[in-house]
Amino acid sequence: MPVLYHHPMSTTSRFIRLVLAEYGYQVELIEEQTWDKRRDFLALNPAGTLPVYVDDSMRALCGATVISEYLDETHGVLKRDRRLLAEDPFQRAEIRRLTEWFLQKMEQDVTRPLARERVFKLQMTTEQGGGAPDSKMLRTARNNIRQHMRYLSWLAGSRQWLAGERLSYADLAAAAAVSVLDYLGEIEWSESPVAKDWYQRLKSRPSFRPMLNDRVRGLTPVSHYADLDF
């Protein structure tokens, strides 16, 4: 069985988990704490980043973009109307643009700093960079949430799905980012009703259910995290 090295609070890991689940492929999940810099993990990915997908032939693919493109080329092309990348080149470009927005820009502005300060630093030793959260980093990231939620709300309100008429990588990338923030209780849903309706549709999909069972040691999710109607 293929293996996915991941962390439950990694947006890019969650994105690939959703892609695999939408395509109906089972993988063994191995939680990896990248700050441990395990030799065996670095042998798979010298960059030391997540996610890493290892197929049945023990070939490693590193990074969400590389893995998602590989899955589209090997599995997505067979799914026809369930394909998560469109066949039209312009539509594919829009899906890729939004996927990059949520996995890179939103990750840099919001998700990564919040996950690092509130989750990862609690699991790190002092030598690894652990310790008390940086209040300035938290404040800056929280100030950025509203901008991203406004953009998400505009997309969700003007299209059937974020990139067009069909569910795509863009939706899964956004849902992966939002789910991390939702676990941490960082989203004020009353300010984003349109985005909330979109997120409820994603949460109700079978592919999402395993992530609703995710728990991080020492950090309980917000009370509504696993609720489909919240």
Instruction: Spell out the domains of the chain, with CATH numbers in brackets.
Output: 3-82 (3.40.30.10), 89-212 (1.20.1050.10)
Per-residue pLDDT of the chain (230 residues; tens, 9 = 90+): 999 999 999 999 999 999 999 999 999 999 999 999 999 999 999 999 999 999 999 999 999 999 999 999 998 888 888 999 999 999 999 999 999 999 999 999 999 999 999 999 999 999 999 999 999 999 999 999 999 999 999 999 999 999 999 999 999 999 999 999 999 999 999 999 999 999 999 999 999 999 999 999 889 999 999 999 88
Sign of CA dihedral 123, 124, 130, 136: negative
pLDDT at 218: 86
Q: What is the pTM of this model?
A: 0.97
Query: If you search the block for the tokens 């990231």, which residue do you land on?
Result: 141
Give the pLDDT of residue 126: 94
Could you tell me which of 126, 85, 114 has the C-alpha nearest to residue 185? 114
pLDDT in tens, 9-43: 999 999 999 999 999 999 999 999 999 999 999 99
Q: Is residue 224 a contact partner of residue 185, using CB atoms and an 8 Å limit? A: no
Extract the tokens encoding 222.
Answer: 């917000």
The reply to whether omega before 113 is within 30° of 0 (cis) is no
- The upper half-sphere exposure of residue 102, i.e. CA atoms within 13 Å in the direction of its Cβ, equals 32
Residue 30 tokens read as: 């191995």
Q: What is the pLDDT of residue 77?
A: 82
Give me the pLDDT at residue 78, please: 83
CA separation for the pair 56, 208 (Å, rounded): 24
The Cα 51–Cα 5 span in angstroms is 6
Rounded Cα distance between 189 and 11, Å, is 19
- Model confidence pLDDT, tens digit, residues 37-72: 999 999 999 999 999 999 999 999 999 999 999 999
Single out the residue of 121, 154, 107 nearest to residue 13, CA to CA.
Answer: 107
